[in-house]
Amino acid sequence: MPSDSDDGAGDSRSTIYTWSNDNIARVQENYNGNLWNLRVKYNDKDTNAVTLDLNWFVDPMNAFGSGSVEFELATIGLMGKRCKNYVTELIDGDDDWRVTYDWTYDSEGYPIECVATEYTEYANSGKMTSRYFFVYSD
């Protein structure tokens, strides 16, 4: 699924999402001529148990799309089907940057926490950790 945008300040971005096995498998982005090619890995045993695709929310560097219009479209169901599984790793094409995801579930199989750890030369000590909590109510 391709997406193009212009922020009005002359910056432009195009993104291509490639789906495989009911999950986004690759994100290719061109931002002002800078190219990123991300591979996305999933945990096959944990199926997305909620009606909202939480993968779009647990993205510390906005690489998966949480800082873009795709995030807004995904949260209201306009990016196609939600991913079947929860993301476990984002890896750039050069293998010099990656984010790992560790999910915790309640007794009914709903995710209650996700710890995203970014490994890069730009973060302090080579890694940066973000923690996301999910609360459900009736």
- pLDDT surpasses 90 at 104: yes
pLDDT, average across residues 66-72 = 58
- pLDDT surpasses 80 at 126: no
- Model confidence pTM above 0.85: no
pLDDT, average across residues 122-138 = 79
- Tens digits of residue pLDDT in 2-15: 454 444 566 777 77
3-state class (DSSP) for residue 58:
coil
Query: For residue 38, what pLDDT is reported?
Result: 85
Helix then strand then coil, in percent of the chain rounded to 5, is 10, 50, 40
Q: Which CATH class for the 2-133 domain?
A: mainly beta
Q: Which two tokens stand for residue 6?
A: 């212009």
Cα 67 to chain center, whole Å? Answer: 10
H runs (alpha helix) in the chain:
69-75
